[in-house]
Structure 1
Amino acid sequence: MRKYLSYLFTAIVVIGGVPVQTPAQNDYVLGGLAGAPTRMGFGARGIGLANAFSAVRSDEISGYYNPALVPFQPHPSVMLAVGFLPLDRKLNFASYTQSLRPSGGFSIGIINAGVSDIEGRNRDGAITETHSTSENAFLLSFGITVAEQVAVGVSAKIFYYSLFEDVRSATVGFDFGFVYSLDEQLTIAGALHDINSKYKWDTSQLYGREGNITVDRFPLRRKIALGYAPKFLSAILSGEIEWVGSTWLGRIGTEIQLHERFTLRGGVDQISFAGEIDAKPAFGFSVRAPIETMKPVLHYSYVIEPYVTGGIHMISLNLNIE
């Protein structure tokens, strides 16, 4: 037990002690920094749980929330998700996750986001053309159980952003995470997201000698999470505290299986302890089809966005291969 606690203490010190990437993050305003679509969640199940997913180690797992979770994936799992967002935005996901004997696991994933129907106008205000953006992240996560109760993991992320004609960015970032299983019911986890993540723009092809190179860094995110899955109830309770620059955020979520083929979930994301921003309530459900070979699961979630009319609808299909 003493050895396991030393693992946990070391992981917390590392996550809490990594310096913020840039001084500008001390005045962090949520949504004002690069990479916002990559911080909105991953798939309908996680988003419906208000993204309080870093310590959830049951059913479908993704390395997006915590790469140390992937060794706990019980069977190979394929996920496809599509989002319906206001303001001509798009947000789509795909992933494949499986465990590796005897103690590892890996996950690959894709995030596709962007904005369409951006109007280009001339000096008279007449529409001359339309533009769109494409913001993508490719994730490769690997996790391993280093002790009976401790797992660690790392994710490499390739970011590719096509912003405008001849204005593109291709960069690499990293995530680290740990999981400490106190018992079958209680899990403590932590993650460090977006190490070295950034967009790097070179506008010399567009503007010639007047162009320049600009770097937009992602905010460094540190999370500590707690997950509880009681034996006496088919349910999950989870919560997280996230530190982004000088901003502290919380999120809580719960999931309860009402029937062997139907699960209900909900939570609140983006809880600002200082009251700087509004929270994002979320809810959703899952339906399991009576097909034994692929065990398909349909997930749905809805997120109330505080600053736009309407919300986010997310639909995911999971295939669990046994």
Structure 2
Amino acid sequence: MKTTLKLLLPIILCGLVATPIQADSAGRAGAYLKMGVGARALGMGSAFTAVADDATAAFWNPAGLALLKKHEASFMHANLTLDRKYNFFNYAHLLKDKQGKTKAVVALSHIRFGIDGIPETRLATGRTDGVPFDPADNLPATDPGGTYTPGRNVYIFSYFDDTETSTFGTYAKQLSDRWYGGLNIKSLRQDLFTNSADSWGLDLGFLYKVSDRTMAGLSLRDLGEKLTWDTPSGHSDRIPVTTTVGLSHKPNDRLTLAADINKVQDMNAKFRLGAEWWMKDFAALRLGSQAGDLTLGASFKVETWRFDYSYVDETLGEAHRISASKQF
């Protein structure tokens, strides 16, 4: 037990002091990267760092992919408040040796978040090719006569999208009898009106098997990420690092209890709690608390398929998410 505590203490301290604690802030770059994926994990209050035993572990703690016994694909869709849409897809593949033993697990994941079809109305100051208006051009306009005349305004009506995407590859493997490790290499992009920004980044994750029924986890997300815009000023937005430590325990084969401490750089640490209970082999219920917000969830299995639902009482309103996964 003393040896276990010595191993876990650096993990816990790293999660608590990796970044200073300050007041919460909003409107940060890459905020969608803090929202989480998979209705199963979200129904458990996002306390998934030390659970991480399905394909969505690529997001929560990439080390968890090393726990997979089969290839797995997962998908999530959510229509959120303010017309926001959140989609996630990934596939995890086991690499095996000649004896059929898993050597490592690789995965490819994609997240798309944004608002499509944002209406825009603006005063036109010239033609689309940048040439100022000239009465001799006899340009179409918005008045009944259908032509531009001096002294009248011409307006442009259009739509644009505000989208953010993250595509990342994962490599995970069992490091020893008790340790598991994982790494994400990420490509980020944001498109807003006619401009875009790009960045590369890293995620790191570790799992430690405390006992047959207890796991400890550490996740470091969004390392070195800075979105640089293609504007004349070359403005950049740094994405804050997220550090999470967690514990999970299975009192029996049907019940899982989990707790996380989540720390976003320059923000207060937040606690997450979750529970999962499989009533039968094909149905489960979940309950959680995400920084004080109630979360609920349920699952239903059909052969190699699992369908998940989650409800989260968020600040901006109720959020419902559905996801599905399949093992191969």
TM-score normalised by L of structure 2: 0.81
Percent identical: 26
Deviations 1:169-213 (A, max 9, x none): 121111111111111111111111111112111213xxxxxxx11
> What runs of 5+ residues in structure 2 fail to find an aligned partner?
97-101, 124-152
In 2, the alpha carbon distance for the partners of 1:265 and 1:112 equals: 26
Residue 56 of structure 1 and its aligned partner are, at CA, apart by 0.5
8 Å CA contact 2:71–2:92 kept in 1: the answer is yes
Secondary structure in structure 2 of the residue aligned to 1:247: coil
The answer to whether residue 193 in structure 2 is matched with residue 164 in structure 1 is yes
In 1, the alpha carbon distance for the partners of 2:90 and 2:197 equals: 23
Letter in 2 for 1:87: L
In 1, the alpha carbon distance for the partners of 2:256 and 2:156 equals: 51
Structure 1 match to 2:111: 111
Structure 2 match to 1:151: 180
Structure 2 match to 1:252: 273
Letter in 2 for 1:78: A
Greater RCO (CA < 8 Å, at least 6 residues apart): 2
In 2, the alpha carbon distance for the partners of 1:76 and 1:157 equals: 21
Paired positions, count: 293
Answer with 1 or 2: which has the greater Rg. Answer: 2
Deviations 1:223-242 (A, max 9, x none): 110111122x5011111001
Secondary structure in structure 2 of the residue aligned to 1:122: strand
Structure 2 match to 1:51: 46
Letter in 1 for 2:309: Y
Q: Aligned runs of 1:186-265 on 2, under 5 Å?
A: 186-204=214-232, 212-231=233-252, 233-244=253-264, 245-265=266-286
Residue 98 of structure 1 and its aligned partner are, at CA, apart by 3.3
8 Å CA contact 1:268–1:282 kept in 2: the answer is yes
The answer to whether residue 300 in structure 2 is matched with residue 287 in structure 1 is yes
In 1, the alpha carbon distance for the partners of 2:95 and 2:118 equals: 44
Structure 1 match to 2:91: 96
RMSD: 2.4
Letter in 1 for 2:294: P
The answer to whether residue 63 in structure 2 is matched with residue 68 in structure 1 is yes
Q: Alpha carbons of 1:172 and 1:59: their partners in 2 closer, same or farther (altered >3 Å)? A: closer
In 2, the alpha carbon distance for the partners of 1:254 and 1:16 equals: 23
Letter in 1 for 2:110: I
Residue 222 of structure 1 and its aligned partner are, at CA, apart by 1.1
Q: Aligned runs of 1:132-143 on 2, under 5 Å?
A: 132-143=161-172
Structure 1 match to 2:28: 33
Moved over 3 A (4+): 1-20, 25-28, 57-61, 98-103
The answer to whether residue 297 in structure 2 is matched with residue 297 in structure 1 is no
Q: Alpha carbons of 1:72 and 1:96: their partners in 2 closer, same or farther (altered >3 Å)? A: same
> What runs of 5+ residues in structure 1 fail to find an aligned partner?
205-211, 272-278
TM-score normalised by L of structure 1: 0.83
In 1, the alpha carbon distance for the partners of 2:77 and 2:267 equals: 32
